[in-house]
């Protein structure tokens, strides 16, 4: 395929100079002409030249002002500019280069010298554009591979979360509902000054939502007679059940030991280990207090309790939505992070409708 000819814009108010440059350049390049700075700006935006040869001393708008305006227009600001001028002193040349010109040719110029410099600059531009294209392509490949890895990680974590569903069908609905609440809480708190360090972007909101189904993954290690017991647990059984946060952390640690620096994995592990900790330090398994509790676990603590309250269990009927919300509010500053409770209250009115949708899906 034949390579297209480069386009050169000549800007000069002297017809003789234009004619000389056209005669030299037109056999190899497509030459466009403007006789003042204003027309040069309009023409440059229209034809997108590969190079601009710009006279300095022109009426109304000189070359210095013209190049300043070129650099303010996004679509033409990267076009290389040669200054052509009778001002051949070092100070004038420095002014031109400081304004962003790539070369400075003094008048009267030698046509062969102009041709050589134009040829060299166009070759340099071609190589630069090719290198930029290669960098952009490489960046696209890296971004695609990164997204593939993120999707793979998401599938891996979601698959691990599904283990809990196989053990306990009731848990399956529970983890999907709490996942929704955690996602909404993370969205609410993304711009909060106490949480912006931890929920840095929409991507991190997705991390918390992806991690949420894994909060009860440790229950895969609890015996069926305890996990599926229809009535209340005995004290000894409750002690065994209280081991599931540590078991969940251990499962994630072992299953993803090569990936523990991944933020999604770290959030999931923290959530599994600490979602039964309390703001006042009276929770388990490690008695963490206040900001010692990882953010994901604080979100899950609220979601977990609300869902347990409004859900039917073998040993209790579901609480009305309003009563469950008030119970969460009552836990502010004791069981729950007060900021998370405030965020929960702001989304609470949406939850009954969402829960109806979950019922429809399950049926």
Q: Return d(Cα 101, Cα 145) in angstroms, integer.
A: 39
Burial class (CB in 10 A: 0-12, 13-18, 19+), 100: middle
* Domains identified in the chain and CATH numbers: 7-109 (3.40.50.2300), 144-362 (1.10.3210.10)
Q: Provide the residue count of the chain.
A: 363
In this prediction, residues 227-242 reach a mean pLDDT of: 88
Better pLDDT: 227 or 295: 295
According to the model, what pLDDT value does residue 165 have? 61
**Under DSSP, is residue 322 helix (H, G, I), strand (E, B) or coil?**
helix
Residue 205 predicted with pLDDT over 90: yes
pLDDT of residue 194 exceeding 90, the answer is yes
Query: Phi and psi for 11 in degrees, rounded to 5?
Result: -120, 110
The position carrying tokens 């700006």 is 41
Report phi then psi at 83, rounded to 5. -90, 135
Residues 63/11, Cβ–Cβ less than 8 Å: yes
At 110 the pLDDT is 80
Rounded to 5 degrees, what are φ and ψ at 280?
-90, 5
- When pLDDT is cut at 50, 70 and 90, the band that residue 363 belongs to is very low
Kind plus residue range of the DSSP H or E element containing 166: helix 111-167
- 265-284 mean pLDDT: 94
Q: pLDDT grade, residue 124 (50/70/90)? A: confident
pLDDT single digits (tens) 301-317: 999 999 989 988 766 78
Give the integer Cα–Cα distance in Å for 213 and 304.
Answer: 11
Name which residue leads in pLDDT, 230 or 148. 230
pTM comes to 0.60
Coil vs helix vs strand at 275: coil
């Amino acid at each position: 395929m034949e390579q297209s000819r480069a386009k050169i814009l000549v800007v000069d108010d002297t017809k003789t100079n234009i004619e000389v440059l056209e005669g030299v350049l037109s056999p190899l390049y497509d030459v466009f002409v403007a006789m003042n700075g204003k027309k040069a700006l309009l023409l440059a935006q229209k034809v997108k030249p590969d190079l601009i040869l710009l006279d300095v001393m022109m009426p109304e708008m000189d070359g210095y002002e013209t190049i300043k305006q070129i650099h303010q227009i996004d679509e033409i600001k990267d076009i290389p500019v040669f200054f052509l001028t009778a001002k051949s002193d070092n100070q004038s040349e420095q002014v031109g280069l400081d304004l962003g010109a790539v070369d400075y040719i003094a008048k009267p110029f030698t046509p062969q010298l102009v041709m050589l410099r134009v040829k060299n600059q166009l070759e340099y531009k071609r190589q630069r554009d090719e290198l930029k294209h290669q960098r952009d392509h490489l960046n696209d490949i890296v971004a695609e591979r990164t997204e593939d890895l993120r999707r793979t990680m998401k599938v891996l974590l979601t698959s691990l979360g599904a283990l809990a569903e196989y053990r306990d069908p009731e848990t399956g609905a529970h983890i999907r509902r709490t996942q929704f609440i955690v996602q909404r809480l993370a969205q609410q708190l993304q711009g909060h000054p106490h949480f912006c360090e931890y929920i840095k972007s929409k991507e991190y909101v997705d991390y918390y939502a992806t991690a949420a189904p894994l909060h009860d993954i440790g229950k895969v290690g609890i015996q069926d007679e305890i996990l599926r017991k229809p009535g209340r647990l005995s004290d000894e059984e409750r002690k065994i059940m209280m081991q599931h946060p540590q078991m969940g952390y251990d499962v994630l640690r072992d299953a993803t030991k090569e990936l523990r620096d991944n933020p999604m994995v770290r959030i999931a592990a923290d959530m599994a280990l600490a979602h039964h900790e309390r703001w006042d330090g009276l929770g388990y398994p490690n008695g963490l207090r206040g900001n010692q509790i990882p953010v994901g676990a604080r979100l899950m603590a609220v979601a977990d309790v609300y869902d347990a309250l409004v859900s039917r269990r073998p040993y209790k009927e579901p609480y009305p939505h309003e009563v469950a919300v008030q119970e969460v509010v009552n836990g502010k500053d004791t069981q729950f992070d007060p900021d998370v409770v405030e965020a929960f209250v702001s989304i609470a009115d949406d939850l009954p409708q969402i829960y109806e949708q979950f019922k429809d899906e399950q049926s």
